[in-house]
Amino acid sequence: MQNKTFVAVAVGLGLITLSACGSTHAKSSTDSESSTDSKTVTLVSHDSWAVSKNVLADFEKKTGYQVKVLKDGDAGQAVNKAILTKDNPQGDVFFGVDNTLLSRALDNGLFQPYTAKGLDKVGAAYQLDKDKHRVTPIDYGDICVNYDKAYFSAHRLTPPQSFADLAKPAYKNLLVTENAATSSPGLGFLLGSAARFGDTGWPDYWKKLKANGVKVVDGWEQAYYQEFSGSSEGRKAGGDRPLVVSYASSPPAEVIYAKKRPGTAPTGVASGTCFRQIEFAGVLSNAGNTKGAKAFVDFLVSREFQEDMPLNMFVYPVVDGAKVPADFTKYGPAAQHPEIMAPGKIAANRDQWLKSWTSLVLK
C-alpha cells in the first residue's frame, strides 16, 4: 500500500523508461535461485509487500515451497518492468497490480488464467476479471488526501473534506501530490478527480489546483516522508505541506508505528477525496514454476494471509468474514463513499488523460 518513489516511467504514453539506478532491488542470495527450481516460488511485487514471518513459514511448511521475493519499486514501475520482461519473467507470480493499471497488464498478456481456490469467498465487487480469471483480487484500500491535525488546529483552519475544497484560497500552497505518470496513488488521485468532475471537467479542476499552488513530486515516499508535515518522518525532515495524497489507512500506521503510542492519530483523512483501489495477483504467463505460483495465489486468498495483511500492508482483505484488527478500523476506516471508475473506462481514457495531465500540470 505505502508505495515508494521510483524513476520516471512514462506510463501514460506507453513508453516505459527504466534506469538501473531506479531499482530498489539489488541481487542477493534471496533471488539467486531460478524459479525453474520446482521447490522455489519467486514472487515479484512492489516495495510495500509484507507478510508476517510465521505466516509465510506456515505456507512453506504446508506446501514444501520456498518463497523468494523480488521487490521492484512502486507498483507502476513493478508492473511496467514485468511487462518488459514477460517473455523471460523475473519470477513466477506477481502481486500488486491495481485497478488503475490492470488493463495495461491484461492487454499485454502478463498473466495466465487461473481460478484460485477460495475465490468463491471473495466479494463479487472486487472480481474485475471474473470471466477469464487472469488475476485474483487480494486487497482493497482508498487513496485519499491526508491532513496534519496539528497544523490546522494551530491555524484555526477547518481541514478540507472534498476535492472542491482543495482548490479554495484557504488551502493555497498546502497540498502535495504524486506525479500521476509515475505513481500509483498519484494516478488514483487523478482518476478520482475525473470520476468526480467528469471527462471534460477534471482539466479545469487541475488548472485550479495548479493556480492554488499544488506541489507535484515523483512518488509517495517523497510526498509523505519529506514534504508532508504530518508524518513522523516529515516532521523530522521539515516537511511544510499539511495536505498530502496518501491512503485512508495512513493514520493507523502513524499510531501503530509511533515510538510512544498516541491516544489519537496525528493525521486525518479528507473523506470526500477518496478513490477506491483494488490490488490483484496473478500467475505470470511464462512462469518457470506454474504449480508453485498457483499455490501461492491460493495462499494470498486464504483466511490466514487475509487476516495477517492489514497490519503489514495497511489494506483491507477481500475475503468475506476475514477479521480486521480493531486498531486498523479505529484509526483508518474505509471510505464510505469513495469515487470509483469502471476498468473499461480507465483503459479507454488513462493514456490520453495522463498525456493531458502532464501537459497541463507539469509544463
Segments forming the whole domain that contains residue 100: 27-141+278-331
Tell me the three cell numbers of residue 155.
Answer: 491555524
Which pLDDT tens digit goes with each residue over 150-200? Answer: 999 999 999 999 999 999 999 999 999 999 988 889 999 999 999 999 999
DSSP 198-254: -TTTHHHHHHHHHHTT-EEESSHHHIIIIIBTTSHHHHHHT--BSEEEEETTHHHHH
**193 and 68 co-located in one domain:** no
Within a domain: 5: no
CATH number at residue 236: 3.40.190.10
* 73 neighbors 267 (Cβ within 8 angstroms): no
**283 and 241 co-located in one domain:** no
**99 and 186 co-located in one domain:** no
pLDDT at 34 over 70: no
**86 and 212 co-located in one domain:** no
| Mean pLDDT, the chain, integer | 88
**341 and 298 co-located in one domain:** no
Tell me the three cell numbers of residue 222.
Answer: 517523497
**94 and 194 co-located in one domain:** no
**83 and 209 co-located in one domain:** no
**159 and 287 co-located in one domain:** no
Within a domain: 35: yes
**308 and 160 co-located in one domain:** no
Q: What is the pTM of this model?
A: 0.83
Tell me the three cell numbers of residue 168.
Answer: 479554495
Number of folded domains in the chain?
A: 2
* 236 neighbors 225 (Cβ within 8 angstroms): no
pLDDT at residue 73, rounded to an integer = 78
- 95, β-bridge pairs: 45, 281
**121 and 149 co-located in one domain:** no
User: What mean pLDDT do residues 45-57 have?
Assistant: 95
Within a domain: 8: no
Within a domain: 4: no
Within a domain: 11: no
Which one, of 267, 255, 263, 260, lies nearest residue 230 by Cα? 267
Which pLDDT tens digit goes with each residue over 103-147? Answer: 999 999 999 999 999 999 999 999 999 999 999 999 999 999 999
Within a domain: 15: no
pLDDT at 22 over 60: no
- The alpha carbon dihedral of 6, 8, 13, 18 has a sign of negative
pLDDT at residue 340, rounded to an integer = 95
Within a domain: 110: yes
The number of residues in the chain equals: 363
pLDDT at 26 over 60: no
**347 and 204 co-located in one domain:** yes
